Amino acid sequence: MKVCPRCAEELSDEATICSRCHNHPAVAPAWAAPRRPKESSPGRLGNVWGPDGLLPTSDRVPAPFKRLEPAGASGIPSKVWVSLILAFVWGFAAGTIADLTGAVLPRGAGLTLHAAGFITGLILGISGLAEVGSSDRLGRIVARLAIAVNGFNLAWIVMWAIQYGLVVRG
């Protein structure tokens, strides 16, 4: 059995003309011919929210609330701790390094070494502050303290560099 493409009448396999519409069943009308598929559009996702009201994530794509760097027990990223250490210790360490290498390096190199350490501390403090969670109040306080102390120390070194330049210039 075959079906007429115009009127959907069932015909025998040997029929050459439809008994209902009197057309040849092998010749399909234009509206019955298969059409070219339209541009494919993305399928609808439906309800993508999970039962807890959050978007589900896979193991390959981290959730937006996960930290970029695993924090320690206190929840403060290591960048913030390194920035804080540089803020309080770098002045003594750089001064010692400058004193030990005083014969090799010119006098202005010590000020440059001091400034480089405090600039590094500022960069680490700012990037660490960006990684601290918005609900982690202690982490934000420690990060801002590290940024403030590094900024103060850098301003102090710049003041000394200006004073050193004025003394050398005479």
* Per-residue pLDDT reduced to its tens digit, 17-51: 888 888 777 765 555 555 555 655 555 555 666 66
* Per-residue pLDDT reduced to its tens digit, 45-74: 556 666 666 666 655 555 555 555 555 556
**Whole-angstrom distance, CA of residue 12 vs CA of residue 93:** 100
Residues 6+ apart with CB under 8 A from 109: 98, 101
Most confident of 4-8, 122-126, 128-132, 163-167: 122-126
Residues 6+ apart with CB under 8 A from 157: 111, 114, 115, 118
The per-residue pLDDT for 144 is 92
pTM above threshold 0.95 = no
**Whole-angstrom distance, CA of residue 138 vs CA of residue 129:** 11
Domain ranges of the chain: 1-28, 78-169
Mean pLDDT, to the nearest integer, of 87-106?
73
Radius of gyration for the alpha carbons in the chain, expressed in angstroms and rounded? 38
Taking phi over 0 as left and psi of -120 to 50 as alpha, with beta for the rest, 57 belongs to beta
Do 131 and 67 contact (CB within 8 A), yes or no? yes
